[in-house]
């Protein structure tokens, strides 16, 4: 195990009826910006619960954050922050709304010239407005980490940043708020959470047996409760287990002190930026290709995963069992299933990685050409 610092400042408030807990957590003395998406919180009653809990606090609403939140929209919210002297951001929705809030919070306090530099040039984020979250979609782990992913229309880019300054102060996770999710979003959430674990686990042995068991525990639980929560969306216990898995999959616990990969995410973000497929859809397509290309380096951990989670064996067993599980959730695993031409995607995305001089994976051995090879394998 390598040295590490584990610091997670987010208070998690978990369970039925917990939105009322906003009353004691949101500051009273500053105007709040209530940020949300495109209407789900109005139709499922979450907006009303939030409004009741906030009482008479000074509040400005900002709706319309898109899935794969856009820079252009976030910058409109930054104007609103300045105009109303907002002192606290409350995110109500899924990972996209929360990621947008993180960017808004950082951009509002950014001292450089152009806030886009936070994403494109890794300009450091030293300060941000405080953020609280009511999470309505288990998937990203954004409720308990300092990461955000933002897309820009004009350049068709999707880029990430991380900062300790943008961890939510608190996140309220009431599984009942997720009962209204369409099956596609539940499927996406299960796959995204699993791939978060894989990115921090399916690398090489690092003498970290507890990390391994934690990762395998999350995976095994998702394999057990995923199909249940898809089939019975209102089964509270299954939904609650799924929701907690998604948070623990990317709150820093599984990945600290061990090698991390993240190649699948990096390649997936470009597929979403260019072709508009959902984040999790991109991951399900790319992951088996990364495993196949890196089979030699990942052999030990993939064999351990195959055996401990699925009772299968070897790299082939790991890939086969994972693809079958994704398919059983209704998640396609090939580019063709999304109508994407693999040759074209490989050419375009190879070009992007070449321009970025990127080298991906736990060994930094996946160069632009290897990215192309991975995508061609996923036709």
Positions in the binding site for ligand NZQ (CB under 6 A): 37-40, 44, 67-68, 93-97, 99, 136-137, 139-142, 145, 147-149, 177-178, 180-181, 185, 188, 192, 250, 265, 279
Judged by beta carbon, residue 73 or residue 142, the one nearer ligand NZQ is 142
| Minimum separation from the CB atom of position 34 to ligand NZQ (A) | 13
| Minimum separation from the CB atom of position 52 to Zn ion (A) | 32
Which of the listed partners (ligand NZQ, Zn ion, none) does 108 bind, with a CB threshold of 5 to 8 Å by partner kind?
none
DSSP 3-state of 367:
coil
CA distance 92 to 34: 7
Judged by beta carbon, residue 277 or residue 306, the one nearer ligand NZQ is 277
| Minimum separation from the CB atom of position 234 to ligand NZQ (A) | 13
Of residues 217 through 276, those in contact with Zn ion by CB under 5 A are: none
Interface segment toward Zn ion; rule CB under 5 A; list 192-200, 293-301, 336-344, 364-372: 192-200
Q: Which two tokens stand for residue 128?
A: 């941000």
Which of the listed partners (ligand NZQ, Zn ion, none) does 289 bind, with a CB threshold of 5 to 8 Å by partner kind?
none
DSSP 3-state of 99:
helix
CA atoms 213, 7, 147, 173: torsion sign: positive
Q: What angle separates helix 263-275 from helix 342-356, to the nearest 10 degrees?
A: 120
CA atoms 63, 64, 69, 71: torsion sign: negative
Which of the listed partners (ligand NZQ, Zn ion, none) does 92 bind, with a CB threshold of 5 to 8 Å by partner kind?
none
CA distance 190 to 132: 24
Q: Are 192 and 138 in contact, with CB atoms under 8 Å apart?
A: no
Answer yes or no whether residue 192 interacts with Zn ion by CB under 5 A: yes
CA distance 136 to 298: 34
| Minimum separation from the CB atom of position 93 to ligand NZQ (A) | 4
Judged by beta carbon, residue 73 or residue 140, the one nearer Zn ion is 140
Judged by beta carbon, residue 205 or residue 276, the one nearer ligand NZQ is 276
Beta bridge partners of 235: none
Q: Are 223 and 325 in contact, with CB atoms under 8 Å apart?
A: yes
Eight-state DSSP code of residue 28: S
| Minimum separation from the CB atom of position 149 to ligand NZQ (A) | 4
Q: Which two tokens stand for residue 320?
A: 């086969």
| Minimum separation from the CB atom of position 317 to ligand NZQ (A) | 26
Judged by beta carbon, residue 250 or residue 333, the one nearer ligand NZQ is 250
Judged by beta carbon, residue 265 or residue 301, the one nearer ligand NZQ is 265
Q: Which two tokens stand for residue 62?
A: 């900002």
| Minimum separation from the CB atom of position 105 to ligand NZQ (A) | 13
Which of the listed partners (Zn ion, ligand NZQ, none) does 252 bind, with a CB threshold of 5 to 8 Å by partner kind?
none
Kindly give, in sequence order, each residue whose CB lies less than 8 Å from that of residue 281, ignoring residues fewer than 6 positions away. 188, 331, 332, 338
For residue 88, give the H/E element and its range. strand 88-93
| Minimum separation from the CB atom of position 106 to ligand NZQ (A) | 13
Q: Which two tokens stand for residue 247?
A: 């948070």
CA distance 188 to 270: 17
| Minimum separation from the CB atom of position 207 to ligand NZQ (A) | 27
- Kindly write out the interface string for residues 133-172 of this chain, putting x where it contacts Zn ion by CB under 5 A and - elsewhere: ----------------------------------------
By C-alpha distance, which of 144, 150, 148, 108 is closest to 128? Answer: 108
Judged by beta carbon, residue 181 or residue 333, the one nearer ligand NZQ is 181
Question: How large is the C-alpha radius of gyration of the chain?
Answer: 20
Which of the listed partners (ligand NZQ, Zn ion, none) does 205 bind, with a CB threshold of 5 to 8 Å by partner kind?
none
Judged by beta carbon, residue 143 or residue 192, the one nearer Zn ion is 192
> Rule CB under 5 A: which residues touch Zn ion?
192
């Amino acid at each position: 195990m390598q040295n590490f610092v584990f610091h997670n400042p987010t208070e998690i408030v978990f369970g039925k009826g917990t939105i009322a807990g906003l009353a004691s957590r949101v500051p009273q003395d500053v105007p709040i910006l209530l940020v949300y998406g495109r209407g789900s919180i109005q139709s499922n009653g979450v907006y009303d619960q939030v409004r009741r809990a906030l009482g008479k606090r000074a509040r400005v609403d900002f709706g319309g954050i898109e899935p794969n939140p856009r820079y252009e929209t976030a910058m409109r919210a930054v104007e609103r922050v300045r105009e109303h002297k907002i002192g606290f951001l409350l995110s109500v929705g899924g990972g996209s709304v929360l990621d947008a809030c993180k960017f808004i919070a950082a951009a509002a306090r950014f001292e450089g010239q152009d806030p886009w530099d936070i994403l494109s040039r890794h300009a450091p984020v030293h300060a941000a407005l405080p953020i609280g979250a009511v999470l309505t979609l288990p998937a990203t782990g954004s409720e308990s980490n300092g990461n955000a992913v933002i897309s820009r229309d004009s350049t068709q880019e999707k880029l990430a940043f991380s900062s300790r300054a943008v961890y939510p102060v608190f996140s309220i996770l009431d599984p009942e708020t997720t009962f209204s999710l369409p099956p596609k979003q539940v499927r996406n959430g299960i796959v995204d959470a699993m791939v978060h674990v894989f990115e921090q686990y399916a690398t090489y042995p690092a003498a970290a047996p507890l990390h391994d068991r934690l990762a395998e525990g999350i995976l095994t639980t998702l394999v057990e409760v995923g199909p249940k929560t898809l089939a019975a969306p209102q089964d509270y216990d299954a939904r609650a287990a799924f929701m907690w898995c998604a948070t623990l999959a990317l709150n820093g616990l599984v990945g600290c002190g061990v090698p991390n990969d993240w190649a699948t995410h990096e390649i997936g973000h470009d597929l979403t930026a260019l072709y508009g497929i959902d984040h999790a859809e991109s991951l399900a397509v790319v992951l088996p290709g990364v495993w196949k290309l890196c089979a030699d380096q990942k052999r030990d951990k993939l064999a351990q995963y195959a055996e401990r989670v699925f009772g299968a064996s070897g790299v082939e067993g790991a890939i086969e069992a994972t693809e079958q599980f994704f398919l059983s959730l209704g998640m396609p695993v090939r580019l063709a299933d999304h109508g994407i031409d693999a040759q074209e995607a490989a050419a375009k995305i190879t070009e992007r990685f070449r321009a970025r001089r990127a080298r991906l994976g736990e060994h930094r051995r996946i160069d632009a050409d290897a990215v192309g090879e991975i995508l061609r394998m996923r036709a």
